[in-house]
Amino acid sequence: MKKLLAFIFSLCVLFELSAQKVQDFSSYFKEKDLEGGFFMYNYQKKEYVVSNKAEFLKVTSPASTFKILNSLIALETGAIKDENEVIKWDGQERSQSAWNADHDLKNAYKNSTVWFYQELARRIGEDKYRSYLKACNYGNQDISGGLTTFWLGSSMLISPKNQLEFLVKLHEEKLPFSKRTFDIIKKIMIREQTPEYLLRAKTGWSNFPPTDIGWFVGYIEAKSNTYFFVTRVYKPIDKKLPSFGAARVEITNNILKALHIP
């Protein structure tokens, strides 16, 4: 019986992978002198479009893309009251000038302010993280890298596929959070809003040797469909490329434009 179940499971996995539409987007990465992949989920068609099946399942640090879930957990547990509660800057000068100020959740999300989310992590604690990571089926759920660092090039790892699955659940509000928490997070995630579409997204950057890893994840709510996307880029950490941060977003925008989205 166990062998039969294992066989059925393997067939399901095989079908899931073979049902994906593979499309070559490598030229968009090459023109930025980067390696990486683009992955999309068409909500209406229930179809994945992936640049590489192996890359789709490859896990790396989520870096600041974890701020989406981190914000949900912080609000739900009361680690922070709402998006307007201010946490005072500790006066320590950090590498990003925008971080050197008092922050509320809105600004901390926008600026990817590491110290702010590390303070939230101390308030949340390991037990609550373990519970929510399991309930949300987020990544490998490994926080052994440290309470304030596990998502920063450390023990927490996630694949583009898992990122997309999480974003779909967020959109559908099928995660263990209140309507109030969903409403706040969806509001602070807004990056662009036009009469034609609404874009919610988050960038991430893990710059730990030997590789720089950049993310751009989110979803576009158009009039007739919703498109979920994940872009992940790589470069050797000793390779100087000032455009690396911007390239994540530019590659995504160029591919979406080529796909006529939105």
Nearest to 89 by CA among 66, 112, 116, 110: 116
Distance CA 79, CA 90 (A): 18
Of 61, 64, 71, 206, catalytic: 64
Output helix, strand, coil percentages for the chain, rounded to the nearest 5: 40, 20, 35
Range list of H helices, the chain: 2-18, 26-30, 53-57, 67-77, 105-111, 114-124, 126-135, 160-172, 179-188, 244-258
At what angle are helices 179-188 and 67-77 packed, to 10 degrees? 140
Distance CA 115, CA 102 (A): 11
For the question of residue 64 being annotated catalytic, the response is: yes
Distance CA 142, CA 157 (A): 8
Residues acting as catalytic residues:
64
